[in-house]
Structure 1
């Protein structure tokens, strides 16, 4: 019996001890550092991972002396339940590159878990010389570095002074990645160059090769340069920030590769041009700096004209070259021709091979005298970089004939060129000399204070007061005259209803129609009766009820009868005038009684 109890106690103690041990193991905190390798070449990378089995806060990594952090920290968390048991892990990862050879130590990292501070153990790492084939896995930045290349392609590395150079900036992209966007960081200044950007309207990807490998490339920028001095000239690099999507080794639920985005700064690098000076041997005296291949032409709008009329002379250069960077030759004209400053005309466009088009000077020429004037031949010289030789072009002589106009006093002498003075003959259409003794008078300064307007505005209020008082008393007197106001009102009323009849005096039918209508309208407005009640008997009854005198009633009815009789009987102008005056009088009398 005692033996059985003893065995039971031993079993219970063993089970309890095992449970406590298992519980302690499950709640034990681990915080450790893991290295991808403890020995590596200086051209390899080291992955350092700090892992723990409990969640913590305030993680502090070591300084990583002797290494440079190229990626991280990357945080990873894993939690799972297996057979009712929970497993948890959390890690912070770094990718390091060594900065020197030697033996270095990854110092302790710290973290707080459950209010306690935990530290990792220090680990030593040995960095050796570079190895032939680094074994570490490439990061996203590594892939981007190897897959992006910005190249500046220069059409000529040894151009002549003022010869066009085409620079094309191409971005080569590996098929493994994709570019999402870019932005310029530093645009070149092109010092010592005349530059012209050629807009790139569409970025189209094309297939090509870079260092023997297949790549896609896109043209980001085109620029045409004209070197302005000889010697070694440096083209500053173009720098861009490129945003790319780089594939990773992870895949999504459907098996597709997961991409991660990163940005890289790429530069085209500096390019140096060895600019050759133009040769001095065979250089024409009239050379003005034109470099390219050109045509030269001198034309006039007319060859025959009268004095004081104008003609246009055009000196034009066309072709390909530095059209905007040289001076056009000037014509040497006879002094008898008045020449105005030229108008510069430019029609030049810049393409990838350089400038092409034409430039011209348009001269307005006005002859003053009758005669024949030659425009001598003009020469234009340029340097052809393709043949490395100077070329001189000359125009033909042009003769201008002035048919009508005054004759120069020196017409017996041959026409001279340059600035020789000749007698000026006034024709009434020429410019006059500037007056040296103008008749000017001093402007007097007038002040408002003390002027007539000042006193007028000052006394105006005093003058307006008696006028306002007189006007006010006049209005009061008119308002107090009741009888007079009634008479005025009656006369106004009569004029209102009889105005049409007055206009028709002399026209019998129209006058009496208007008179009858005016009388009816008066009664309608005054007595508020309808047109259907306009019978003489009805009107007599209404006016009698209104206490109108019988004489006035008879007069009103008599007028209505005259209007009816006038349609069938002859009436004189005197009779019409009498009826109009009678109607006006009757309306005035009725208005006083109604």
Structure 2
């Protein structure tokens, strides 16, 4: 009889355990400090195969906390004693309290087989402890910094806005706070929005007044929990200088979704890419061309990888100069970034300049956008083709400019009379050129007449010995010699005044005069002459300097530092090869 009773009790126990649902909500402790993380653990245990979970966990109102992170795991096993299937789901939630005191955490709800289960609400106690760094032992002089970040859950390379406030009971302390230093760390990029002080707010926390010192954007460049380091500032007084630091803030940086394009790098935001030729002149083979790759939009614009120009046997491409025009926007840094490339065509005809594929992640739509390649079509001409395409007026203008360049000196700048190319035909320019040519022809006739009269006078005088060939060549060199220091001083004045167009024109004139000193008409012959007279090192230096002058001349962005370095190289070389 006793064995039958025990058997009946086991049957009742198995019936009771079969189909049982247990739901619990617990915290790791009941009392927390002001900066502690509140960890909630939700456990759902279902015994039996006939029970089905129909909804997920319905969390209570957690608006008084900042969500730091969450995660869940599901385990399934069979109880060997009762041969019952047990499904256990555990979820962890990490919270940061926004306020102090007792905070009530409500019930967690879940529906299993058309029945709602819930947990019991409970309270957690948050102690009102705030770290303060005082300037002196007097409590009335206490001052401290606080860094506030509202949105602490962002994607990788997506910005979040941080606000730095200073708190003090004594308003006189606010004017002493200076030298705010924003955080620096390898796994995040920081860009300031405003470093100006705001008006003082007398209604701060803890009977303290507050003032905003800085507002800046934080771009975390890796996923996971990223800690924003403290911001420091100095507090100066008549007697000493102290340093105060703010609190640290943890960010929950979400990893970018899977399925990114193969050529995606780190662009997060909304962008567009444009490629264009900065010059409107005809493109000539072996002459530099400025090609601009412009990326515009809003996001992590200053820190992302720009699409590069792909190398090709049809052209030679050099490293770009990067310039940017960005300002803080609503969802990141907004503006434009320019990559200025110098491209030299290697063949005549149609040339296609292509960039790398470019893709970005749009946090608003949570999708990747693939812009692909951008292509710029150019048509390069040979030197003979450009000469043949010129009109008669253009040829006359070029001939006039050549004459003016040959008689130019550093003192009298006849290049100011050079005729610029015009897209429209102007009769005034043609008549001016004809008048100049007629005037030069009359001057030539007068000069020849003066030479004949002088020759008659010389015939009456006693003949002088002709001298050797070397002496005659020396006399010719002396007549052709130009003081190279005049050029150097004139180039220095042009550099200081910022007249870069006249600067490069004077460089060409100086090069022509130096070549005339050595009786060399073309640059190619002059390079051969330098190699034979001064060695291959000087000839190679002259070739590199000539190419550098051409690149700087046609560059749309000229800096005073680059022109100054170029002038030093010119003075160093031409002072050695000039006679």
TM-score, normalisation: structure 1: 0.36
TM-score, normalisation: structure 2: 0.37
Structure (1 or 2) with the larger CA radius of gyration:
1
Which structure: greater helix fraction?
2
